[in-house]
Structure 1
Amino acid sequence: MHDACLRLAPAALALALAACASAPPPQASPPPTGAVGMRSIDKQWAGAQRMELAANETFQMPLAEAGNAAPHYPQELLAQRLPPQTVCLSVGIGAQGRVIGSRALAAGEGCPTTPTPQDPRFVEAARAAVAAWRFDPAFRCVYPGTKPVDEQGCVSGREEAVPVSLAYSFVFEQKDGRGTVRMGE
């Protein structure tokens, strides 16, 4: 029993003992799975690359479908034991929610300052994965007058599906001899 629990006033001792005895055990970290993470880096883009909305409009970002597969670390590159490689992509999403293209972003284009991957197969792996992604489309909601303050969704407005581009950052790395991909910083 902990000394701190024993020094409490008798009235609080029962409550304190219950708290000391019922503290949850520390949770073990789940074992690494080699799963891929991704993060949008669009907020780093300059204002000129962002959509401008009128006072009577709102915007809904596209929502990625749950089954979108993440990139895989190219198996043929494992033997090279390369340091982590960051790939940033601009992903074009059409008005129907399908990926219409992607391109690699350089450090000056909103990608975190990292060197270009040592092997183009990292970029190819990322582009191949995002080519199959699907989204619920982005849309602009245009209201006939002033947009309602408390409206959820686009109930009193007109939805206009719009194509957009989003930026994602992937970090390909090796851990314990296995290739993994995680979300970029």
Structure 2
Amino acid sequence: MKTSRKRFPAMLAGLLVAATVCAQQPKSAAPALADADVRAWFPALAQRQPLASQQAVETIKDDKGTTLGWLFCTDQIAPVVRGKRGEIGVWVALGSDGKIRGVKAGRHREDKKWFDRIREPFYKAFEGQPADGSGGKPDAVTTATVSSRAMIDDVFGACRTVMELPGVRELLAAGAAADKTAPAQN
């Protein structure tokens, strides 16, 4: 009995060191989304390049080099939003017009039984929404409320972060200025 009491502090210290080391490890990159999936949101996709100011964000360009938008997974972008069982990675396609082109569920640890209740209409509700959340937000899914609310907060929170990144902010501002000076279409 006395021997196990002496070992306990040493084992506890070892566990604390291991937990600290694991917590300090950088997040592993989200697995890449296939070009076919990205083309659903950006049909003119020709290039995917990491954004200089944030490697987890890809700049999507057409064959002329024009930026069409950005692609990122929310579990790689602040703020961290957790569902019922941890972070939910959501792929987000953000257009150069500042609107969400689409979202797709990525990595998560949510209960499959509940998470599978989040269906296509929920994901489609993001499409065309201003990425800053000013156009309203999709409704949470009744039978998967915690997970779907976390996804909503995650998508719009990550979009706001990405929209403030150097290279993104300037392009969005230039597009907004061009929209204001363009003649009205009748």
TMscore range, shorter length:
under 0.3
Larger radius of gyration: 1
Name the structure, 1 or 2, with higher relative contact order (CA <8 Å, separation 6+).
1
Greater helix content: 2
- After TM superposition, the score normalised by the length of structure 2 is 0.28
Greater strand content: 1
